[in-house]
Amino acid sequence: MSFGLCLFLMFPSFGWARDSGDNWRNLSPQEKDNVLRNYQRWQNLPPRDKEHLREEWDRWQNLPQDRRDQLKRRYEDQRRRHSND
Amino acid sequence: MKERNCVLENACKEFEADLVLHYYGDDSEADRRRVERHCETCSRCRGFLEDLRQLLPRIAKPQELPPRFWDNYYNEMVEKLALQREQSSWWRNFFSPVRAWALPAFGTAAVAALALFLVFGKAGWHLKPTPSQIPQEILTDANSLEFFNSMDLLESLGTLEKVEGSRTDLRGLRHT
């Protein structure tokens, strides 16, 4: 009975652990490398740049979805062009 | 001894059982008197009783066993019972010293195993482990992961918007 109670109490944390593991696992290898690289870069950024990026992030999140998709496509195009050069 | 090739005299049906009991002396006083009275007048039952007296001692001759046999029999039984008791309770003896903590320990182990299964079970054990240089609170937050994934784009966001804006302006001019 106590085992069952223990299991019942721990069940939400199992779900949380699984979901949180999924966030990282669901990223592609390229996205994982991206996150790792940018996190390390973030550590060395001056506070002013960090603040700027936070503002840009807020702005990005408030953009309409079609605008975000458009900018994303443009960014990918530019990146491809740079890597080809 | 009267030889009849082991064939019993036919007794009266209702007295057959009583006659056997009478022979062994297991009948009641009343039955004994009743059988004796009957036998005085019934030659068949008398013959049956006589046959019992002659044949039964030969058929079921009691074998007297020496006391040593019964001593050995008793000792053998005691040994067998002890062996059986030992064999049936070996697992109880195995668990008895740990019985006090075994249940919670096994319960905790089972819960831990279940937690591991739920966390890693979906994608299997072959996955690349999460990087230790990134704090867990970032790895578990989808928003933070997306932020770091999009950081390059965020740095170019202003430029991208300017380019997009100028393109739109150019398109507008061409149309006019």
Contacts of A78 in chain B (CB under 8 A): 156, 160
Q: For residues B23 and B53, is the Cβ–Cβ distance under 8 A? A: yes
- Residue B125 falls within a domain, yes or no? no
Token couple for B124: 């299997």
Q: How far is A52 from chain B (nearest CA, A)?
A: 9
| A35 inside 8 A of chain B by CB | yes
Q: Cα separation of B152 and A31, whole Å?
A: 12
- Same-domain pairing of A54 and A37: no
With contacts defined as CB-CB under 8 Å, which chain A residues touch B163? 74
Query: For residue B128, which of A17, A28, A41 has the smallest C-alpha distance?
Result: A28
Same-domain status, A82 and A65: yes
pLDDT at B6: 56
Does pTM top 0.90 for this prediction?
Answer: no
Is B47 contained in some domain? yes
Same-domain status, A52 and A81: yes
pLDDT tens digits, B20-63: 899 888 889 999 999 999 999 999 999 999 988 888 777 766 67
* Contact (Cβ atoms closer than 8 angstroms) between residue B157 and residue A56: yes
CA distance B53 to A43: 116
Most B CBs within 10 Å: which of A39, A40, A45, A60, as the mutation test of the B interface? A39
Co-location of A26 and A50 in the same domain:
no
C-beta atoms of B119 and A14 within 8 A = yes
Could B115 and A2 be called an inter-chain contact, meaning their C-beta atoms sit closer than 8 Å? Answer: no
Residue of B126, B105, B116 lying closest to A13 (CA atoms)? B116
| Interatomic CA distance for residues B97 and B92, integer angstroms | 9
| Pair (A39, A52) in one structural domain | no
Same domain, A59 and A75: yes
For A3, residues 6+ apart whose C-beta sits below 8 A from its C-beta are B107, B110, B111
**Interface predicted TM-score of the whole assembly (ipTM), two decimals:** 0.76
Tell me if B49 sits within 8 A of B39, measured CB to CB: yes
Contact call for B154 and A18, based on CB within 8 A? no
Q: How many domains does chain B have?
A: 2
The rounded distance, in Å, linking the Cα atoms of B112 and B120 is: 12
Contact B107 A3 (CB under 8 A): yes
Query: Is the domain of A33 the same as that of A72?
Result: no
Reported residue count of chain A is 85
In a domain, B100, yes or no: no
Question: Is B148 among the domain residues?
Answer: yes
pLDDT tens column, A1-50: 555 666 666 656 555 555 556 788 888 888 888 898 999 999 999 999 99
pLDDT along chain B (176 residues), means of 10: 59 90 90 92 91 80 80 93 80 64 78 77 52 77 89 88 72 61
What span, in angstroms and rounded, lies between the C-alpha atoms of B31 and B28? 5
8 Å CB contact between B129 and A22:
no
Domain that holds residue A52: 46-85
CA distance A42 to B152: 11
One domain, residues A38 and A68: no
Residues of the domain holding B34: 13-59
Please measure the distance between the N-terminal and C-terminal CA atoms of chain B and give it in whole angstroms.
Answer: 150
First-to-last CA distance in chain A?
67
Q: Do A71 and B133 touch (CB under 8 A)?
A: no
Pair A30, A9 in one domain? yes
Distance CA B175, CA B9 (A): 139
Query: Which of helix, strand or coil describes residue A21?
Result: helix
User: Which of B101, B108, B117, B118 best tests the A interface by mutation, with the highest count of A CBs <10 A?
Assistant: B118
* DSSP designation for B97: G
